[in-house]
Amino acid sequence: MLESTQESNVAQKVTSMDERSRYLRKLILKGLEGTKKGHVGSALSLVEIIRVLYDDIMNYRPQEPMWPDRDRFILSKGHGCLALYAVLADKGFIDPEELTTYTLEGSRLGGCSENIVPGVEATTGALGHGFAVGLGMALAARIQKRPSRVYAVLGDGELNEGSIWEGALFAAKHKLTHLTAIIDCNKFQIAGSTKDILNLEPLKDKWVSFGFAVQEVDGHDVEALRRVFKKLPFSDEKPSAVICHTIKGKGFSFAEGTHKWHWKSGLDEPTLSQMKSLLENE
């Protein structure tokens, strides 16, 4: 199985998850059907975080994507957008069939998300920038006296960007309590482990020292994510941060805990249908 991606020597199974998480991963695979390549591992670590935000936490209107009082979701690690596209398709912002156009010429669904797509709030992909856009939105909501909250998802590798820490200082100074930084802490980035490339530990202490109220959670435990997100904001004085401990490539054992599936190409039809049937059968 999966000979075409040279993963046949690795145990092949789907790691534990419920029906909804499997379904959203099937939509991610649908996004790979046309182009056969993409940021697979980066999207798979995000699924439960985005799922819980859109299912249980955020206020938004798929039929009125620009509703002024909506909450804002910012995918600062914009390359993980296959997971966002999957949820936007599931919620009716876009047609699920459009997923198959991901990164094809003329498609709205680029390899990093752009705000030409209904439901995508900010064009991201240059790491370290999306968070700042979210800060601006949070400040604007306060000035305009709107109830909108801002949820910005950052990659742990993205935290190597200095602009994130400049943004964190800004958020704390302005007491942006309706802003939450959500860290998809999958421990890997494009070329290796975050620990080896530019170590962030002690990560929680860093966010605390930058003036955030911080909680940590298993980023694949749907119940735990719900519990933590429902407690937001964690403070009346400080912005919040949730460090979500996730697994890069979560769902497929051969893609988990490695940077090798950060970006994957050559995903031919047999490989994709094998991955799909793993989701259906296990």
Ligand X SMILES: Cc1ncc(C[n+]2csc(CCOP(=O)(O)OP(=O)(O)O)c2C)c(N)n1
Report if residue 262 touches ligand X, rule: CB under 6 A: yes
Report if residue 158 touches ligand X, rule: CB under 6 A: yes
Report if residue 211 touches ligand X, rule: CB under 6 A: no
Which residue(s) pair with 153 in the sheet?
A: 75, 182
Nearer to ligand X, 156 or 256 (CB): 156
Nearer to ligand X, 127 or 137 (CB): 127
Q: Name the segment binding ligand X (CB under 6 A); options: 9-17, 155-163, 169-177, 209-217.
A: 155-163
Q: Are 178 and 240 in contact (CB under 8 A)?
A: no
Cα–Cα distance for residue pair 35/157, rounded to 1 Å: 25
Per CB under 6 A, the list member of 125, 211, 219, 249 interacting with ligand X is 125
Q: Binding to ligand X (CB under 6 A): which residues in 49-78?
A: 77
Report if residue 110 touches ligand X, rule: CB under 6 A: no
Report if residue 157 touches ligand X, rule: CB under 6 A: yes
Report if residue 126 touches ligand X, rule: CB under 6 A: yes
Nearer to ligand X, 148 or 157 (CB): 157
Contacting positions for ligand X (CB under 6 A): 42, 45, 77, 79-80, 125-128, 155-158, 184, 186, 188-190, 248, 262
